[in-house]
Chain A
C-alpha cells in the first residue's frame, strides 16, 4: 500500500475492497450525470449483488483501483486499465470521480498521471488510450494535462436528449510520456 509508484501529489491508488467500494459505486451512480459522462450505455441503477458477481468474475483481467485522497484518505473515484493488447503493449484506461464537489480540482489528473506511470514502468505498455465524449471538456482538458494527445473522433456516437455528441479518442505513447518526465525534471 505504501509503494510510491501508486502515490501522486493529491491522491494514491489502492486496490479495490469489493465489500466497501461497490457501495460507493452505488452512491455515485445516483448522480446520472456521472454515469452519462462515464459510459455510452444508458444510465441505470445496478443491483449490488449482480455488480459484485460481475467484479468477482472480471477483476482478475482488470487493473482496477480506487482513488484515495492523501489528506483525509477519502475514496473519491475509480480508475482502471483494461482491454489489454499484449501484442502491441496497449491498454484502455477509464476513470471516474464519483464525488461531484471534487470535480475540476486536479484529483483525476493526478490519478491519471499515477496510472500512466504504472502502465509504462511496471506493465511495460507502449501506449494507453481512452475515449471521452465531446461534451466532457473538463475531462478532455484533464487528459491533455496528463499528456494524452487527440487521435480523432467518431461523429455523433453519443445520443442524449436528442442531441448527438462525438466520441473523442486520445492516446499517449511511452516515449511521449518519458519526454514529459524529462521535461518535468529539468
Chain B
C-alpha cells in the first residue's frame, strides 16, 4: 500500500462524486429491481421510486453526511463513456470502533456481471486503505447468489445469518452479513503479490 495507489480509478471504472441532478434518474430506473431499491431505501419495503424521491433522499444524505463526516457516497461510472453503473456507499462509518457497513450495487445485470469484481476491489481499497477500517461488512443472501459468490471470491466470509429476514419472489430468505477484516485483506493481497 502506498500513496501512489489510485483509489478512484481502476482499469475500466471511476468513482466520482454522486450528482443527484444526473444520477437520480438512473437510480430510479434501477429501483424496479427490489435488490437495488432496498439499497436506496434501507430497511423499507423495496418499491420502484420516482426520480423526485431518489433525488430528495440522496440530497438529504449528502447534506447530512457532509456535516457529520461519517457518510460516503460515490457514483460508479464506466471510464470509457461515463455511463452510470451504480453506487458505492458507506452510509455510516463508526469511527469510535473503526468499522462500517457498506453497499456496492450495480443496476443492470449485464454490467454487474462485467464489473462487479472490479468495483468491489475499489470499495475494499477505499474502506480498508483510505478510511482505515478495521473491518467492513455488507448484507446479501441466497436471493442474489451472484452477489454472495462475488463477495466470497473477494475474500468476504459469512458472519451473520438472520433467518427469514428478507422477502423476495414470494418467499422469505435469510439476510446474510458478509464481513472482511483489514488483516484478512492485507494477507490476501500479500499472497497475490508473492
Contacts and interface: CB of A to CB of B under 8 A. Distances in A.
Query: Do A and B truly interact?
Result: yes
Interface of A: 40-42, 83, 85-88, 90, 126-127, 129, 151-159, 164, 169, 171, 173
Contact of B159 (A155, A158, A164): A155
Interface stretch (B16-24, B78-86, B92-100, B114-122): B92-100
B172 interface: yes
B96 A173 contact: no
Interface residues of B, number: 25
Contacts of B160: 151-154, 169
A126 B174 CA distance: 13
A129 B43 CA distance: 14
B96 A40 contact: yes
B179 interface: yes
Contacts of A169: 160, 162, 177
A85 B181 CA distance: 29
A140 to B, nearest CB: 15
Contacts of B166: 88
A120 to B, nearest CB: 13
Among B163, B167, B179, B181, chain A packs the most CB atoms within 10 A around the CB of B163
B189 interface: no
Contacts of B165: 85, 88, 90, 127, 129, 171
A89 to B, nearest CB: 9
Contact of B163 (A154, A155, A164, A173): A173
A151 B163 contact: yes
A83 B165 CA distance: 12
A151 B181 CA distance: 19
Given A86-B45, A87-B45, A88-B172, A154 B159 contact: yes
